[in-house]
């Protein structure tokens, strides 16, 4: 399964909820967060080791478990030294690394062997293994292709191992580009804004547990301000809860609390991301914002270049830097959009001073 959507819609929360369900079913689980310019080999080894640790104690044959630990160690030790630098985790030290198994250096072949061996242990126990990958769009093209290839082999064998990934809106396109069959390999779920009834429930259900109600017009105002984005519903909901003196919560309470929520978002949600950008990247983002890009809109990179009176090629470093930092994405060639909902509006308001 692959979850995709903008920042702040709850993808990571969903990953954690799915992992909790797997744990409740006595599955072995592991989770990684992909990072740009870092190999996934060692993080996958960590995740697999965690998953094995959760289920291996129930296996009747400790030698089989030790053999698998040796394969995990062999797989991990093939990580290039630059990617191992500064990482404290080490593979199990009480076993000798296997030879000739998951250690070829070809990531796809090694993953197929590693996943196959892990799935065999899970099958012995009648459980599954679930690996969760956050920020999946940050995996490099070659390694993403290898991961898809390994998942395809495991799927073909009907082995009890699944992978659940989460990433930005362009992740499905990136996967399809890495392997043509990726469109059929994963079940894709777009995580988006809450529909109005769900946004209302996110506010009214917890409020009702404290015997507090919302007036209908207050809920109207909340949806207008949040646009149904879960992170915004959370931020405005907290501010309104703290500010409202009595039940029911009124539209006046929402309007009075809104500046506090906006200030919190400006610092923690928008501002923290803006500060990560270089001056050139900020100039690029402001141009994208001025062209009208916001939660649902993309703009042509040619139009950005025109607005800045620059050649498109000269802007490639800024655009690529913003993509690596997860601030913009490109779902199709020649276009760019913000990964953060309402980021364009935030940048425009900063420029106008409102």
Q: Which two tokens stand for residue 33?
A: 């967060």
Report pLDDT digits (tens) over 137-187.
999 999 999 999 999 999 999 999 999 999 999 899 899 989 888 888 999
Out of 229, 256, 273, a domain closes at 273
Range in 103-117, 202-216, 339-353 with the lowest mean pLDDT: 339-353
Domain containing residue 301 = 278-352
Report pLDDT digits (tens) over 6-23.
988 999 999 999 999 999
Nearest to 233 by CA among 247, 243, 219: 219
Cis upstream peptide for 317 (omega within 30°): no
Report pLDDT digits (tens) over 93-142.
578 877 888 889 999 999 999 999 999 999 988 999 999 999 999 999 99
Same domain, 117 and 210: no
Q: Is the pLDDT of residue 87 over 60?
A: no
How high is the pLDDT of residue 77? 85
pLDDT band at 89 (very low <50, low <70, confident <90, very high): low
Same domain, 134 and 250: no
Number of domains in the chain: 3
Nearest to 13 by CA among 162, 166, 216: 166
Same domain, 130 and 174: yes
pLDDT band at 282 (very low <50, low <70, confident <90, very high): very high
Report pLDDT digits (tens) over 46-66.
999 999 988 888 877 777 888
Query: What pTM was computed for the model?
Result: 0.86
**Where are the strands (E) in 70-182, listed by range?**
129-134, 161-167
Same domain, 208 and 306: no
Out of 190, 211, 239, a domain closes at 190
DSSP 29: E
Same domain, 269 and 283: no
Nearest to 122 by CA among 89, 154, 75: 154
Q: Is the pLDDT of residue 351 over 80?
A: no
Q: Is the dihedral of CA 300, 302, 303, 307 positive or negative?
A: positive
């Amino acid at each position: 399964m692959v979850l995709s959507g903008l920042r702040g819609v709850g993808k990571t929360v969903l990953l954690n909820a799915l992992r909790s369900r797997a744990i409740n079913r006595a599955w072995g689980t592991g989770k990684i967060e992909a990072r740009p310019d870092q190999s996934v080999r060692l993080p996958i080894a960590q995740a697999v080791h965690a998953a094995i640790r959760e289920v291996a104690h129930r296996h009747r044959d400790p030698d089989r478990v030790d053999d698998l630990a040796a394969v995990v160690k062999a797989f991990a030790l093939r990580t290039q030294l630059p990617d191992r630098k500064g990482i404290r985790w080490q593979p199990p030290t009480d076993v000798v690394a296997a030879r000739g198994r998951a250690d070829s250096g070809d990531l796809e072949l090694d993953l197929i062997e590693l996943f196959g061996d892990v799935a065999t242990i899970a099958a012995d126990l009648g459980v599954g293994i679930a690996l969760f990958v956050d920020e999946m769009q940050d995996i490099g093209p070659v390694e993403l292709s290898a991961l898809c290839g390994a998942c395809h082999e495991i799927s073909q064998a009907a082995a009890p191992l699944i992978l659940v990934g989460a990433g930005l809106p362009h992740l499905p396109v990136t996967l399809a580009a890495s392997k043509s069959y990726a469109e059929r390999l994963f079940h894709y779920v777009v995580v988006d804004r809450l529909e109005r009834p769900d946004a209302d429930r996110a506010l009214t259900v917890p409020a009702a547990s404290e015997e507090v109600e919302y007036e209908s017009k207050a809920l109207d105002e909340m949806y207008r301000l949040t646009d149904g984005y879960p992170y915004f519903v959370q931020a405005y909901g907290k501010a309104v809860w703290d500010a409202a003196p009595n039940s029911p919560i009124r539209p006046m309470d929402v309007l009075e609390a809104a500046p506090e929520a906006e200030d919190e978002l400006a610092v923690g949600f928008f501002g923290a991301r803006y500060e990560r950008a270089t001056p050139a990247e900020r100039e690029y983002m402001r141009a994208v914002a001025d062209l009208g890009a916001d939660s649902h809109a993309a703009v042509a990179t040619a139009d950005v270049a025109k607005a800045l009176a620059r050649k498109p090629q000269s802007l490639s470093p800024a655009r690529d830097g913003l993509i690596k930092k997860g601030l913009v994405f490109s779902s199709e060639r020649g276009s760019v959009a913000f990964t953060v909902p309402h980021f364009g509006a935030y940048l425009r308001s900063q420029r106008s001073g409102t």
